[in-house]
Amino acid sequence: MEGRSGPGGERLPRAARIRLARDIRTVLKRGRRVRTASLDIHVLEGAGQRPRVGWIVPKLGQGIVARNRLKRRLREIARRRVLGELWRAGRGCDVLIRARRKAYSASYAVLEAETTGGLEALCSRN
């Protein structure tokens, strides 16, 4: 029988998520931001010992199916790319990804490229 984490045992750990509204507000207020065509990426350095990630997906006139699809894509990108790269680099920072209107029509590959490119731009400023 498979567990809740699925066949590969891969899931986004609870400790790796930004869940509290006050933490989200802190990252939005004090973090650095880069804008791409589809996303706003906020990074707050030194927020903790391990990297955490969160996302904001506003409705923007879209249906719940499209919104959930976009959330799943962003969650998967965060799990596979963002957390792994930050962990390997030894960076304990909070990353918040906010979807813009164009994100709803963007492919997974475009969202992934924009996320990694935006993080590289933010992290290379140090």
In a domain, 117, yes or no: yes
Q: pTM value?
A: 0.85
| Cα separation, 22 vs 30, whole angstroms | 12
| Cα separation, 98 vs 77, whole angstroms | 13
Q: What is the pLDDT of residues 79-100, one digit of tens each?
A: 888 888 888 877 888 999 999 9
Number of domains in the chain: 1
- Contact between 82 and 48 (Cβ < 8 Å): no
Q: How confident is the model at residue 123 (pLDDT cuts 50, 70, 90)?
A: confident
Which structural domain, as residue segments, surrounds residue 118? Answer: 36-123
In a domain, 66, yes or no: yes
Count Cβ atoms within 10 A of the Cβ of residue 47 and give its class: 0-12 exposed, 13-18 middle, 19 or more buried. Answer: buried
Q: What is the pLDDT of residues 36-81, one digit of tens each?
A: 999 999 999 876 778 899 999 999 999 999 999 999 999 999 988 8
CATH number assigned to the domain comprising residue 75: 3.30.230.10
DSSP E strands in 1-126: the ranges are 32-35, 39-44, 52-56, 94-99
- % residues pLDDT > 90 (the chain): 61
In a domain, 98, yes or no: yes
- Contact between 109 and 37 (Cβ < 8 Å): no
